[in-house]
Amino acid sequence: MVSSVPKLHALFVSKSQPVLRAAKVTNEERSTKSKLARSLARAVNSNPWSDELESSLSSLHPSQTISRTTVLQTLRLIKVPADGLRFFDWVSNKGFSHKEQSFFLMLEFLGRARNLNVARNFLFSIERRSNGCVKLQDRYFNSLIRSYGNAGLFQESVKLFQTMKQMGISPSVLTFNSLLSILLKRGRTGMAHDLFDEMRRTYGVTPDSYTFNTLINGFCKNSMVDEAFRIFKDMELYHCNPDVVTYNTIIDGLCRAGKVKIAHNVLSGMLKKATDVHPNVVSYTTLVRGYCMKQEIDEAVLVFHDMLSRGLKPNAVTYNTLIKGLSEAHRYDEIKDILIGGNDAFTTFAPDACTFNILIKAHCDAGHLDAAMKVFQEMLNMKLHPDSASYSVLIRTLCMRNEFDRAETLFNELFEKEVLLGKDECKPLAAAYNPMFEYLCANGKTKQAEKVFRQLMKRGVQDPPSYKTLITGHCREGKFKPAYELLVLMLRREFVPDLETYELLIDGLLKIGEALLAHDTLQRMLRSSYLPVATTFHSVLAELAKRKFANESFCLVTLMLEKRIRQNIDLSTQVVRLLFSSAQKEKAFLIVRLLYDNGYLVKMEELLGYLCENRKLLDAHTLVLFCLEKSQMVDIDTCNTVIEGLCKHKRHSEAFSLYNELVELGNHQQLSCHVVLRNALEAAGKIDRASGFWSLWTLQLSVPNFHLHEMSNSRMNGVEKLSSKSTRRVANAGKATLLALGKAFPSQVVPQENLVEGFLRDTKCDDAFIKEKLEHLCKTTTVKTRYTVLTREILAKYPELTTEGSPTIKQRLEIANEAVVEMALEASLGCIKEWGRPVEDITHIVYVSSSEIRLPGGDLYLSAKLGLRNDVNRVMLYFLGCYGGVTGLRVAKDIAENNPGSRVLLTTSETTILGFRPPNKARPYDLVGAALFGDGAAAVIIGADPRECEAPFMELHYAVQQFLPGTQNVIDGRLTEEGINFKLGRDLPQKIEENIEEFCKKLMGKAGDESMEFNDMFWAVHPGGPAILNRLETKLKLEKEKLESSRRALVDYGNVSSNTILYVMEYMRDELKKKGDAAQEWGLGLAFGPGITFEGLLIRSLTSS
């Protein structure tokens, strides 16, 4: 190894010395123009743009003209794009005439800096800025197309390409190459195909070698190696000879696809062809990696030696790739041979940090920790700098062996040497340090752990679990402020702490009296879509009030009322008193009114006593009048005190008006203040009023007295009582009810009679067996009509959906994610319209779908489109299958019943896009799906204790879920690159039949009527298929009409997965209305799905009294 040093030194000297000499010559011959450009750029970079700066620039260049070279050099040296654009305009105003080069340079500058809107505006202003001298060309558009692509905005690249064509500017081969590269990097293989066809057929642009290399690389990276091969063969048609890059791309794609033997044949073919294209070090290294990935190490070694025999010099990547493969195969002796062989006069290989990391990891994986530490020490001896990977594998291994002291030593060394802040290409993995973070935080050393964690953050490494570990560690040590600071950092990076972290931190901040920080944390918790329990609100409010934070206390009480959080009368009273004492009586009265409007009370006697004691008699007067307005009993002695106090302070009118109010309510005999009031009136010279008052009081002594009534309890929980005039059955207090229902479907209707012909046409299938099988299934499903998102326009845009074996998950999600939310939106709007209340009254949303995958989920997009409050509580239920609708009802029921006053929007939305596949005899269940499933959405509003303005039609009395042990494989769904693959066991109907009776009896028992039989109830059953309905009907001996709503939903819509139960319930609602008083009161809602899971609801009809 030492022998290689002189060679490397010689190489270093031979290459660097000429460069230094050349630089010296250049410095001596710098032109005046270059000096001026640097001076101008220095002035622009050092000062904000202003009139003074423009004057300075003019003084640097006093002459009226400035050279083109100086302008271009200055633009290249300016650091901020906005300043560059101002300089561009400044020289133009000084008489400089910009040409194509400076416009292009400015556009490139804006694009590289991601100032894309400015760049777009600049592009379309070029002709105006140049007075028509510079015409828009394809290269300007190419530049901005690339900039959009580099920023990940491929759709903007496509839009700009379309605009370019509309303006009559013909795209060049460079344009197409840029756009093809962008599309393929984003996995848009279908769009790339279409663009390639457009390039050749519409515009007649001949693809070049770069075009083919881009296509081949893109298809290989998207796991479409066969398509890449087809493109490879087409190169000859365009007289493009594959170069070594082309071959290397094909070899790499084959190796990544596991087709290493074929890749080897491609390389062998290169050797046999008598052309100028020969395999290079990249070709062999790629093949070595491919064999190593397949654990075919002998083949990898043979390729390596073949490379050497052909005079090719392996590089560090080659050696490290082979060493990694050998280490994973535990062939350590051969690694020594490779290292020794790499130091001959030919190869001059010196192990680098990557080499040592491979060896360290290999020893750690084999359990040879001491050997790994020796390799680490040898690395140091060779003056190589260990990187984050070197430390992370050793620290993780030491932690796994519970050798935390040694791990801590390395951990501290890692921090002190600032290894994580190094500029090496190896990006640290936070997960590797998690065990150390956990150990330090559990042993009172959280600050030490945080130092390293912050170094990781500086490298752009983010790890939400580490935040929680550190926050918990600080809280455990009683250091709640640092924990709060970490939580703020976590949220700034758009990571959401979990509920436990928030609650732990709030509790800790309250313990140390940090009421404001606790209040801020609570607000952040709400913005993270968590709704804390009432006791958390109460604890924060108590500390705020205790520490006299009047404004914050006011805000928190109003927030609690808005969120329908249960109030505490002692705390409410304390806050109102605090507001009065802080000279904020308007807020105090507002809080009192809001509390009473929402069904809550305050300790009025205590407040009135406080106001009287502190001579706030006018406020006391207002408060007593409020009590009278709300019919709340007020202690008569307190009223006497208020009136006498008003008289004492010469507020005779207020005293007299309050006395009259009390007399009108029949309290004249209990008022002892009449003498004081009469004397005060007389003393004020109001003799007539005093005489009239005395006569009135004497007259009313004979009138029987009436006491103030207590406030009605009809709203004590903040919810209005149902009107007694309702003709509906009254819902049980606190039980969730269905208040409204809506549904939606895509525009494409599929009559079952037309399905076979259309399906086979769209999938280009002419197999007679498949046609016969599908026709039979279409008849047995009993479905008549379905709706689908999948149109012929979509299939034309994404032809790969009908191609067997194509990786199309990206395309499917691109269609499904948008369609699912749009259907959910339409269903929700219909539901809200039927409900009749403002959309702002929705407090929770439960979003159910098995057809969407993305973050954030459709619940957020739907909430935004509906205009829900940004603090609406969201629950997302993904991939539950057919029982998802009843699960959603059960979850919404729990929310409604545990959050008084809440209103929950449950929406379900499904599409078959993910499961659509071309027919294949090997997958018979695909045909079942084609014959049975449909697309659509549904929505319901759920809430307890309905208001008079609401029309509940069903009560969700009881809910239960259970699964059948050992049946998890009966319904099997797997997400693959081709979509979702479903398999449905033939024994599903039998399994349901064997267990349904016991499950239904469990639900019925909650109705409280032991004499009730199955036919005494109405039935809303998810129609998974006619076989399930038939089995259930037979097993429970149900009358034919009992499952009519389920069969009708199946006929009209097909199986729409989670939505279908809501379609059934809508039909059931209509049926119960028709029957009127003859309708059954109790019913069951059932659904079955993967697990096998049973979901059940005991439902009470409220449609008749």
In a domain, 312, yes or no: no
Indicate whether 597 and 673 sit together in one domain.
no
Indicate whether 596 and 625 sit together in one domain.
no
pLDDT score, position 865: 92
- Mean of the pLDDT values across residues 995-1000? 90
Bridge-based pairing of strands 736-744 and 936-944 is: antiparallel
- Mean of the pLDDT values across residues 82-103? 87
Collect contacts of 290-293 with beta carbons under 8 A, ≥24 apart. Answer: 290/251, 290/254, 290/255, 290/256, 290/260, 290/263, 291/260, 291/325, 292/321, 292/322, 292/324, 292/325, 292/328, 293/255, 293/258, 293/260
Q: How many CB atoms lie within 10 A of CB 327?
A: 21
Indicate whether 465 and 592 sit together in one domain.
no
Contacts of 34 (CB under 8 A, 6+ apart): 73
Which of 134, 141, 45 is closest to 84 using CA atoms? Answer: 45
**CATH number where 512 lies:** 1.25.40.10
First to last CA, the chain: 95
Collect contacts of 83-88 with beta carbons under 8 A, ≥24 apart. Answer: 83/44, 83/45, 83/49, 84/44, 84/109, 84/110, 85/110, 85/118, 85/122, 86/44, 86/49, 87/40, 87/44, 87/57
In a domain, 333, yes or no: no
In a domain, 265, yes or no: no
Which residue, of 443, 478, 513, is where some domain finishes? Answer: 478
Bridge-based pairing of strands 844-849 and 736-744 is: unpaired
**CATH number where 642 lies:** 1.25.40
Q: Which one-letter DSSP state was computed for residue 173?
A: H
What does the alpha-carbon distance between residue 982 and residue 974 come to, in Å, rounded to a whole number?
A: 7
Indicate whether 532 and 467 sit together in one domain.
no
For 777-781, 873-877, 1018-1022, which range has the lowest pLDDT when averaged over its residues? 777-781
Helix or strand run (H / E) with residue 976: strand 971-976
Catalytic residue at 647? no
pLDDT score, position 961: 92
Catalytic member of 292, 627, 647, 882: 882
In a domain, 509, yes or no: yes
Which residue, of 478, 510, 526, is where some domain finishes? Answer: 478
Percentage above 70 pLDDT, the chain = 87
Confidence of residue 703 (pLDDT cuts 50, 70, 90): very low
The amino acid at 424: D
Indicate whether 563 and 625 sit together in one domain.
no
pLDDT score, position 319: 86
- Considering just the CA atoms, what is the radius of gyration of the chain in Å? 39
Indicate whether 909 and 952 sit together in one domain.
yes
Strands (E), 901-935: 904-910
**CATH number where 779 lies:** 3.40.47.10
- Mean of the pLDDT values across residues 144-170? 87
CB 667 within 8 A of CB 707: yes
Strands (E), 522-587: none
pLDDT score, position 32: 61
Indicate whether 597 and 623 sit together in one domain.
no
Give how far Cα 278 sits from Cα of 211, 256, 268, 273, Å.
21, 22, 10, 9
In a domain, 341, yes or no: no
Which of 803, 754, 777 is closest to 918 using CA atoms? Answer: 803
- Mean of the pLDDT values across residues 811-839? 93
- Partners of 1089 in the β-ladder: 1093
On average, the pLDDT of the chain sits at 83
What does the alpha-carbon distance between residue 239 and residue 92 come to, in Å, rounded to a whole number?
A: 47
In a domain, 1094, yes or no: yes
Indicate whether 882 and 795 sit together in one domain.
yes
Indicate whether 642 and 504 sit together in one domain.
no
What does the alpha-carbon distance between residue 440 and residue 434 come to, in Å, rounded to a whole number?
A: 10
CB 879 within 8 A of CB 896: no
- Mean of the pLDDT values across residues 124-130? 88
Indicate whether 663 and 740 sit together in one domain.
no
Which residue, of 676, 710, 744, is where some domain finishes? Answer: 710
In a domain, 269, yes or no: no
pLDDT surpasses 70 at 843: yes
pLDDT score, position 7: 29
Contacts of 532 (CB under 8 A, 6+ apart): 502, 503, 506, 522, 525, 526
Task: Give how many domains the chain has, as a whole number.
Answer: 4
pLDDT surpasses 70 at 685: no
pLDDT score, position 462: 75
pLDDT surpasses 50 at 702: no
- Mean of the pLDDT values across residues 1043-1058? 93
pLDDT surpasses 50 at 151: yes
pLDDT score, position 719: 32
Question: Which domain, by its residues, includes 555?
Answer: 496-602
What does the alpha-carbon distance between residue 869 and residue 818 come to, in Å, rounded to a whole number?
A: 22
At 558, list the tokens: 């109003």
pLDDT score, position 892: 97
In a domain, 460, yes or no: yes
Question: What are the two backbone dihedrals, phi and then psi, of residue 751, each rounded to the nearest 5 degrees?
Answer: -65, 140
Query: How would you class 387 by CB atoms within 10 Å of its CB: exposed for 0-12, middle for 13-18, buried for 19 or more?
Result: buried
- Mean of the pLDDT values across residues 385-411? 87
- Mean of the pLDDT values across residues 953-967? 91
pLDDT surpasses 90 at 735: yes
Indicate whether 855 and 894 sit together in one domain.
yes
Tokens 């190696």 -> residue: 225
Indicate whether 560 and 509 sit together in one domain.
yes
What does the alpha-carbon distance between residue 487 and residue 210 come to, in Å, rounded to a whole number?
A: 49
At 1048, list the tokens: 């009708």
pLDDT score, position 656: 67
- Mean of the pLDDT values across residues 845-850? 96
Helix or strand run (H / E) with residue 786: strand 785-788
Cis peptide before 1092 (omega within 30 of 0): yes
The better pLDDT of the pair 721, 436 is held by: 436
- Edge-to-edge strand ranges of the sheet holding 904-910: 873-878, 844-849, 904-910, 936-944, 736-744, 954-963, 1093-1101, 1082-1089, 1018-1021
- Mean of the pLDDT values across residues 360-375? 85
What does the alpha-carbon distance between residue 346 and residue 321 come to, in Å, rounded to a whole number?
A: 19
pLDDT surpasses 60 at 5: no
CB 1101 within 8 A of CB 954: yes
Which of 1079, 1027, 1042 is closest to 781 using CA atoms? Answer: 1027
pLDDT score, position 62: 66
